[in-house]
Structure formats: structure tokens, C-alpha cells
Structure 1
Amino acid sequence: MSIIRKLAVLIVPSVLLIVAFAGCTVSRRHDSSRQTNSSSQALSPSDVNRIIDRTRRALRTDPRNAQLHFELAVALQAAGDKSGYLEHIKLAASLAPQNSFYRFNLAEAYRAQGLKTLALKNALYAADIGRHDAKDMTPLYYQLVAELMAETGRRATAEHWYENALAALSAYQGVAACRRIDEIPKQWRRTVEEVRHRLSGIRRELGKNRPTQQWVATNMPWFQFGQHEDGMQMSCMRNKIDKLAHRLATRQVMGSGIHIDLGMLLLTSGQVENATIEFLAALQIDEKQSKAWQMLGTAYVKEGRLDEAVSAFNKSCKLGNRDSCTLYKKTQEALQRLKNPVSAASQTP
């Protein structure tokens, strides 16, 4: 069953809401006119008005029913009533504070009104509680947070959330970061294409202010990435990566371990950005995996993201990984040299 149909069946069974889910939420179209047109193709204005009237009558006898408020909100949206839509989405979210999907829609509603601060607050809340009650939706929650972070000028934070959107797809949908777009299930292709495109732009922008690989190699020689250059070895590595990615997609193996193994293969083969996603996927499944934190830190070093590497090594160290404690200290020292080259040079014997 597709994610659109699954959500419709589990959360909102009416025909109107199935259309709304397909046209408004999962496809992530923010053009309200397109959303309304999509709904009206399935239901005539008189049908929508009848649903509105019926739902209002039901609310008179059960005014604290969150699902009824949500159904009314979507019907009002289809009728073009933006203020009514926002009012009842807010009521649904307040009456069911642990429903991440209502909160996600509230964030989208605020965003459409240009209220970015309120949108981000609710998107972050949806992302937090969605990790527990709606893992199928977490990639979209993380994507929305990333977009709002980018729109409010927080590019580095947006990078983190875009990466976690892809990591959630790998962790919960079996969509490995290294897969070609034609190998990804159709219901997630648009999301993956959007996230990859935006993440690529942010990485290019942020990369201008990060240390080069040459600087890292010169100043941090204790990191041995072991990239294979022999053609036969690289071919063997690619075969191993493909097999692991296939096992992940077909759910032959699950859990954080397969993401760590896949990430290490990607890191060794030089696919550092994809390796980062897989280590983050492992941590979404089990945030106490010290090995995942250590390897994530190593990938960050390779990308020149030393601040984040220090944080990752520190978390691994606190989980009892002694090697990470050493890497934490050394990376911290390297970061200080990077930020204060004159001071570091004066301390050199």
C-alpha cells in the first residue's frame, strides 16, 4: 500500500481527505490554488459544502473531537476558506497535541500565511513527536524543517535537517542514500529529488568556508580513509554496496548495524556524503550507537565539517568509545589551529 493511501486509511478515511493528502501533503505542493483545484476535480463545490455542513453539525455535539476539526479544516481549504482552514487546523492540533500529522499541517498553514517563526516552531514539534508516532512521515517532517531553516537564513542547520530527511528514508523506508532515482520507490522519488537538489546547493555554498581536503590531510594525518584506487577493488566495493543497499530495500536485514556497514563501505569508496546519511540513519534507529557517532565524526572530518566532527566524537566518547575520546581531543586541537592559525603557530616549539 502506498504511503498516501496508508495515511488516508489510518488517519482520515473520508474521500475528501484522501484527495487532500495526495494533492496537498505528500506531494508537498505549497501553491494553494493547485491544492484547491486538485480537490475540486474529485468533488464538486456542492459536495464540499455538504461535507462542511455535515462536519459542523457533528462538531456541535462533539466540539472537542480533533479529527472532526481536521476534516472540517481540509474541507474549508478545498472551499477556499483560508482563515477557516487555519482556525480548525489550530483546534485539531491543540486538542490532539501528540498527533504529529496535525502539527505538520499547522506548520504548513502558517508557512502559507508567511508566518515563518510559527511555522518552524510547529514543524520542529511535529518532527520531534513524529519520531515515535509517525515514522513513515518523518522524512517529510524533516524536509519541512529544513526548508524553513533555509528560508530563515539558517543554512548550516538546514543542511543537517535535509541530511536527516534522507537518513529517515533510509532508516524507515529502506531507501539507501546511494541509490539512483530510478531505484527508489515512486512515492518517494519527488521527495528525494527535491531534498538532494536543495542539499547539494547548500553544501556547495557552505563548502566555500570549510577547510579543503588537502588541509585536512596535512593537519589531521591520523585519519586514514583508505580509499581504494585499484579498479578491481573498486568494482568489488561497488558490488558490496549494491548488495547491502538491496538487502536494505527488501528488508532482508534491518537495524542500525546495516546502515553502519553500508556507511563504512561508502566512506571507504569515497562516497563521503552518502556515508554521512547512512551513519545518521543508524543513529535515528539507535542514538546510543557509539560506533555510528565515531564514523559520523570521521565522515564530517572528510567533509571539512570539524565543528560537527568534534560534537560527534564527543558523543561517541561519552558512550564509552575510547578511540573516539582520542579523536575528540585531536580534532578539537585541529579546529583551534584552523580558527586561530597565528596563535597555534606561536605555540609550536
Structure 2
Amino acid sequence: MKVRARSLRVGATSFRVRPRPLLVVAASLVVLAALLVVDVMIGDFPLTATQVVDVLLGGGTRRDQFVVMELRMPRALTGLLVGGALGLSGAIFQAIVRNPLASPDLLGVTWGAGVGAVTVITFAGSLGVVTGSAASVGVPLAALLGGLFAGLLVYGLAWRQGIEGFRMVLVGIGITAVASSFTHYLLTVGDVLDAGRAMVWITGSLNGRGWEHVVPVGIALAVLIPTALIGGHVLGALQFDDQTARGLGIRVDAARSFLIIVAIVLASVATAGAGPIAFVALAAPQIALRLSGTAQPPLFGSVVVGGALVMLSDLVARTIYKTELPVGVVTAVLGAPYLMFLLIRSRREARV
């Protein structure tokens, strides 16, 4: 039985309410809360779910409070926030470009952030200041600026009296190749110890994350997520050709540019917080799309699914081997087959 959308009127404004996407978001939030508790439970000092919940409600022993609030909660929240930012960024890119392959991973944003971060690690390390302010402030800031520069460069090179999805993907792949090659060049010319630190960062890792990582990402997302959700009301109209969208009263170029810049900033902030965690921005919107049954990737659903994917991957990375793996390794292993599936599917659809 198909559930129909209903209209909700507030004053002179009406909204379409679709029950299925709301149910998917509610169920995903429950799963996300369960993953958060399980993620905090696991570690060198195992805790029970009751102990974790007790601490979160303000109780628990000093030992439990220290383990939960100082050692494990910052890591879990960083993964949740970073995954949500990547999921939302990927949803915006895929909706605007109208291509399921469009994501910050393939459009050069994350590798642009990698160039900025690796540059700071390499040169700051050679000056002996990588463990000081360069590590806590310089690396995230350089990653943010690098991601913004790469994303805006892709957008500028792909612009030809408008944005065409296939052209933007091709330009993004080219920028990704250039940025990844330059990153690996920096790794070869830098000191061995600096290269090791840089490799850990560009793999994407939540290890050692503290509240100093949670707060900046949280503040950024507190501004960016509402901005994206408010600006995203035009995404439905942008699914049509530009002439039709303009006929509906949409300022196509301004709306598309605004949303793409928001998506670039989201991906850059996420990469600055935990490194380039691969394939989350690619897979999360498509999973949310199939669960919700909507015509385009749902924005808030992609946020929740993205957070759940990163936290689930972090759990796998911490438990599958005796040695803890970077979360980016797990997402890459899970995401690579999904990318091949999308490529095969797109090729089959092109033949029809």
C-alpha cells in the first residue's frame, strides 16, 4: 500500500508532508543513538549500556565519567558530525548535478583539503613545530582552505553558462588526479616521520579526537545544516532543465551557486575534522534515497545516514582486528564495490 503525501498549512504557507521519509529519519535516529552507545561501550575498559546511559544522564562513577566523557564521547561525536556533514554535502552535489557519482571525493574537494593539510604537516614538521599550534590549528585550517579552493576551482572550470553534471564530474576527476599526485609528491620529499603523520591523516582517522575537534565542527554544522535545509527547498525545481526552473520563478544560477558553495564548505569542514573519509558522501545520499523512496536524495535523511555510516565503520575498524584501523580504510573497502555498482548501473541506463 502506497502512503500518499499530505499537506500541512501554517498560515498562508503550506508544506507537503511525506510519511515515509519521516519514518526513515525516525528509525535512523534510533539506530544512530544505539550506535553511539555501543561505540562508547567498546574499548580497553569495557562498559555496559547501563553505565554509559547513567553517565550521559549525569550519574556514574568518576572512572566511568572520565572514560565516557573524556576518552570516547569526543571520538564518537566527531564521527557522527563528520559523517553527517559528508552525507549532506554529497546529497546536495548529487541533487544539483543530477548524477549519483557526484560527491566531494570525486570532485576534488577532499583531495584539495589533503593538499593543504599535508603541506602544513610537511613544512611545519621540518621546522619542528608540528606538535604545537600547527597541529591543532594549522592542519585543520589548511585542510579547510584547500578544500574550499579545490571545490571553487572545479565549479569555475565547469561553468559554461550554467552547470552540466557530466562536465562537472569530469573536471572534478581531473582536479582529484592533480591534487592526489601533488599530495603524494609532498609525501616523498618530506621527512619520514612527517610523511607517516600525513599518511595517517589522509587515510581518515578518528583516533585521538577530543573536544577540541568536536566543538569547531559542531559550531560549523550548527550554522551550515540549517542553511542547507532552508536553501534546499529549491532542489526539487532544479531537477528540471534551467528554462523550466526559471519558469517556476527560481533564480537558477544564484540558487545553484549558493548550494554548491554550502556543499563545498560542509565537505571541507568534515575533512578538516577527521581527514578525507572516503565514500561516505557518495553512498549515504543514495542509501537515504532508496530508503525514503523520494525523487532526490533527502537532505536530513542523508545527514543521519552519513553519521550512522561513519560510526558503524568506526566500530568495525576498532573490533575487526587486534590493531585499530583508520576509519577511512573501512569506508573505502565498503565503498569501492558500491562505486563500481553505480558505474555499471549508469552505463546500463545510458544504453537504454
Query: Same fold by TM-score, threshold 0.5 exceeded?
Result: no
TM-score scaled to structure 1, two decimals?
Answer: 0.23
Who wins on radius of gyration, i.e. which is larger? 1
What TM-score do you get using the length of structure 2 for normalisation? 0.23
